[in-house]
Structure 1
């Protein structure tokens, strides 16, 4: 791929061609094909030859009748040939061939299923690199904006028309913007490493932007689900496993029947059994074998295969549920992000206009520095939200195609054939192990002593008024939510808490599921207003929620009651 611009399809094809998971399934498929041939060998004749020669001593009636009272030693020679043809084996070969064919059919779907997953992983890695490169550019733009503001405030301070407080505040915001840029740089390096692992090559400097695939999506979830349940390769593989288990169960009945074989044989011998001379024989036999008792082994084998059949059916049922869940989640993500995009575009447009107006008003003294810094940060977060949602929406479209089992077809990607590169792949991939991770990218290191001093605790006077207690309590509630500790989060709610909809039990179950699935949660509380009347309080604030899979800004109202010295939430709602 080198320095040339790479497309999404290029990355997917490279991932499919080199990813070990795909090659593992391809080789297993070829192995299963040979197992079918092994099973079919039961229909064909078997030919064996034997030959032997050596010393032999015999003392038997024949040697004694010949006058050898102490036995006789001779050099024995013999040779033989035998042909055996199965005529009837209780349908054992039929069942084994059917079982191996079903196993092959099961594995034949796995390369497609694994290829769909690898392709989807490659798409996510590709989109994440694009996403985090945009986020890094936004962070760099944000840092430059704060530097310009800092330079302007510094000039005002030197001119005697600005305060040191303003300078300290804007310097702190600029430092925070630098930390944010470094955080985005680290995140970019992380996703580029994931791209390397998935695609097998480093992410190039130029990645072609990705457009949507709405034209390839069904009109409704019902239509998508119908396609998925009919075509998803993993579900079809699970159904084939049931057929294989059924064939295995049928094969367990083979000992209920006799076995019939045609046997043709010829033997030649010289100086055998103590007698000089040559012996020859020919035979053509039809041999019947029928086991009458095997200690209960056959009955146990039938019971075992019956349980294995039931197990295969339950695995199929579980796969059915997983396919349904995966597609529903992808569809919900697509619908939600598509609805959010329009609002976020308007939000960015409006915040951009507000930022320009605030800057003009600040220059003529009608806006404070805090106003200007806050709107700058709000615009930064709005642009980030738009970027995140746009890429979430793109990825959701590909998730839907993968959930239906049609991702490879839409991309025009083909599953690779053959054994793969083997040992050569280690050499090829190894050259990229330390690719493009340079310490200088992260800026100069801070001396350890400075880090220790800056991390030293400072004493802050607590606000012990009732309103201050409520504010502190709400901040602790937001921190518990952000930590993902669900039990700690629930501890902020009164036993008398009533959710806006449904029962308390249903609310707890829903909240536990949502918080448990989210990663990198951030909950910021702004513009908080608290009113206290005795042991009851009302808090109104703006809540900014952000996680890996969802983000939201809302105006929230919490009603709290003092219980045993602690403020507990009794109701919450969005204004």
Structure 2
């Protein structure tokens, strides 16, 4: 039975722009990881050039026997292969940073999908709720129609009063207005469903509640939310990324070593006619001594980024705890309130039945009968509202832990982590 709700959530996630934005961000960061790993691989450069050259040096003097510029047609080509041997752990920390950033982005995809899933669930339940209330309004209209017909027949026989007929007609019109209002509410719910899901609702089934993920108490909910909520997990991954970035900033504290292999094929170089070829194999070291304090500034900057990321994590944790607490409070309130609303509706139905019998034998006035009919209708409306509020509270608790999609069997979008 939860399949239809799961399908609705899947459709909502597929076209939602918030989810699509986070998915594209994640895919871009995947390429950043590949780019960072390229630092471990050799770099191959090929070059070629052709043009004119004029030279005046000892070689031209020996070749011509006189001083002055000697013009030749110069050609050059070559290949260089450079393999990083040690770069102060820059590449290692860059890969770690990008992997942590990718993890954070994956959790952001899941968090966006959870939010969309909860909105889709709300619109799904709203459509079902409004459909029930429309049917209830139709029953209420039919009941008022029966009372009106009964009063009109009495009036036509001369045993009823015109005022009673007018009063019954007025209540009948109110019942018709109530039906129109409920039908309007249903159309509003269908429009909201269309906006979130991308299509109009059709033949929605009553979903099963995610009772398996319900915690025993508020503390258990908060503890679990701290462990599984994707927003908090994303913030933790961001801390890992900034710590790797801070380590990366220390790369210039070390010398860099590269293995360089090369070959050149040149002609007419520096005024000497003929081929000029080289084969080289070198280990090169480069060690920057001073860059105007830029390296120190970068390390201080990344240290502040770590503190910022930790504060963002703390803020995310506060928000997760708040949402978990609110969802749990809503659940408790809705559960207690639903029992009271059911008692009220049962009492109103029993009163309506008793008043109908008493009205038939003249012990109750028409106003008594119409009032109890209206109270029954309103009590049932309130009960339906309460029933669906409690249902939504179950799903809200699952979402407050980041487990809504998992509880309904909906796959996480884009292959991100699944809680």
So what's the TM-score if we normalise by structure 1? Answer: 0.67
Q: Does 1:55 align with 2:48?
A: no
Q: Does 1:294 align with 2:291?
A: yes
Counterpart in 2 of 1:109? 107
Please report how far the alpha carbon of residue 172 of structure 1 lies from its aligned counterpart in structure 2 after TM superposition: 3.0
Aligned to 1:285, what secondary structure does the other structure show?
A: strand
Question: 1: distance between equivalents of 2:239 and 2:349?
Answer: 59
Question: 2: distance between equivalents of 1:211 and 1:346?
Answer: 24
Counterpart in 1 of 2:358? 361
1:520-535 equivalences under 5 Å are none
1:45-124 equivalences under 5 Å are 45-59=42-56, 62-63=59-60, 66=64, 71-124=69-122
Please report how far the alpha carbon of residue 392 of structure 1 lies from its aligned counterpart in structure 2 after TM superposition: 0.8
CA 1:211 to 1:269, structure 2 compared with 1: closer, same or farther past 3 Å? Answer: closer
CA 1:418 to 1:24, structure 2 compared with 1: closer, same or farther past 3 Å? Answer: farther
Please report how far the alpha carbon of residue 387 of structure 1 lies from its aligned counterpart in structure 2 after TM superposition: 0.5
Q: Does 1:400 align with 2:400?
A: no
**Which deviates more, 238-247 or 106-115?**
106-115
CA 1:378 to 1:23, structure 2 compared with 1: closer, same or farther past 3 Å? Answer: same
Question: 1: distance between equivalents of 2:208 and 2:75?
Answer: 81
- The question of whether the paired residues in 1 share the 8 Å contact of 2:109 and 2:413 is answered with no
Question: 2: distance between equivalents of 1:345 and 1:9?
Answer: 29
Aligned to 1:203, what secondary structure does the other structure show?
A: coil
- The question of whether the paired residues in 1 share the 8 Å contact of 2:76 and 2:266 is answered with yes
Aligned to 1:73, what secondary structure does the other structure show?
A: strand
- The question of whether the paired residues in 1 share the 8 Å contact of 2:110 and 2:413 is answered with no
Bigger RCO (CA 8 Å, 6+ sep):
2
Aligned to 1:413, what secondary structure does the other structure show?
A: coil
- The question of whether the paired residues in 1 share the 8 Å contact of 2:348 and 2:372 is answered with yes
Q: Deviations over 1:469-523 (max 9, x none)?
A: xxxxxxxxxxxxxxxxxxxxxxxxxxxxxxxxxxxxxxxxxxxxxxxxxxxxxxx
Q: Does 1:317 align with 2:314?
A: yes
Counterpart in 1 of 2:139? 141
Please report how far the alpha carbon of residue 267 of structure 1 lies from its aligned counterpart in structure 2 after TM superposition: 1.9
Please report how far the alpha carbon of residue 109 of structure 1 lies from its aligned counterpart in structure 2 after TM superposition: 2.0
Question: 1: distance between equivalents of 2:97 and 2:213?
Answer: 37
- The question of whether the paired residues in 2 share the 8 Å contact of 1:27 and 1:418 is answered with no
CA 1:210 to 1:174, structure 2 compared with 1: closer, same or farther past 3 Å? Answer: same
Q: Does 1:281 align with 2:278?
A: yes
Q: Quote the RMSD (CA, aligned, Å).
A: 2.5
- The question of whether the paired residues in 2 share the 8 Å contact of 1:16 and 1:415 is answered with no
1:166-315 equivalences under 5 Å are 166-204=164-202, 206-315=203-312
Question: 2: distance between equivalents of 1:209 and 1:46?
Answer: 60
Question: 1: distance between equivalents of 2:66 and 2:355?
Answer: 127
Please report how far the alpha carbon of residue 332 of structure 1 lies from its aligned counterpart in structure 2 after TM superposition: 1.3
Tell me which protein shows more helix as a share of its residues.
2
Question: 1: distance between equivalents of 2:182 and 2:298?
Answer: 60
**Which deviates more, 315-324 or 405-414?**
405-414
Question: 2: distance between equivalents of 1:247 and 1:208?
Answer: 49
Please report how far the alpha carbon of residue 60 of structure 1 lies from its aligned counterpart in structure 2 after TM superposition: 5.2
- The question of whether the paired residues in 1 share the 8 Å contact of 2:209 and 2:391 is answered with yes
- The question of whether the paired residues in 1 share the 8 Å contact of 2:210 and 2:398 is answered with no
Question: 2: distance between equivalents of 1:308 and 1:164?
Answer: 81
Equivalent residue for 1:10, pick from 7, 16, 29: 7
Aligned to 1:52, what secondary structure does the other structure show?
A: strand
CA 1:215 to 1:295, structure 2 compared with 1: closer, same or farther past 3 Å? Answer: closer
Counterpart in 1 of 2:408? 411
Question: 2: distance between equivalents of 1:36 and 1:6?
Answer: 37
Aligned to 1:201, what secondary structure does the other structure show?
A: coil
Aligned residues: 414
**Which deviates more, 328-337 or 108-117?**
108-117
- The question of whether the paired residues in 1 share the 8 Å contact of 2:78 and 2:263 is answered with yes
Please report how far the alpha carbon of residue 61 of structure 1 lies from its aligned counterpart in structure 2 after TM superposition: 5.7
Hey, which bits of structure 1, 4+ residues long, moved more than 6 A? none
Please report how far the alpha carbon of residue 17 of structure 1 lies from its aligned counterpart in structure 2 after TM superposition: 4.5
- The question of whether the paired residues in 1 share the 8 Å contact of 2:210 and 2:408 is answered with no
Counterpart in 1 of 2:151? 153
Please report how far the alpha carbon of residue 153 of structure 1 lies from its aligned counterpart in structure 2 after TM superposition: 3.1
- The question of whether the paired residues in 1 share the 8 Å contact of 2:209 and 2:395 is answered with no
So what's the TM-score if we normalise by structure 2? Answer: 0.90
Q: Deviations over 1:511-547 (max 9, x none)?
A: xxxxxxxxxxxxxxxxxxxxxxxxxxxxxxxxxxxxx
Unaligned runs of 5+ in 2: none
Tell me which protein shows more strand as a share of its residues.
1
Question: 2: distance between equivalents of 1:145 and 1:64?
Answer: 120
Counterpart in 2 of 1:128? 126
Q: Does 1:342 align with 2:334?
A: no
Please report how far the alpha carbon of residue 409 of structure 1 lies from its aligned counterpart in structure 2 after TM superposition: 2.5
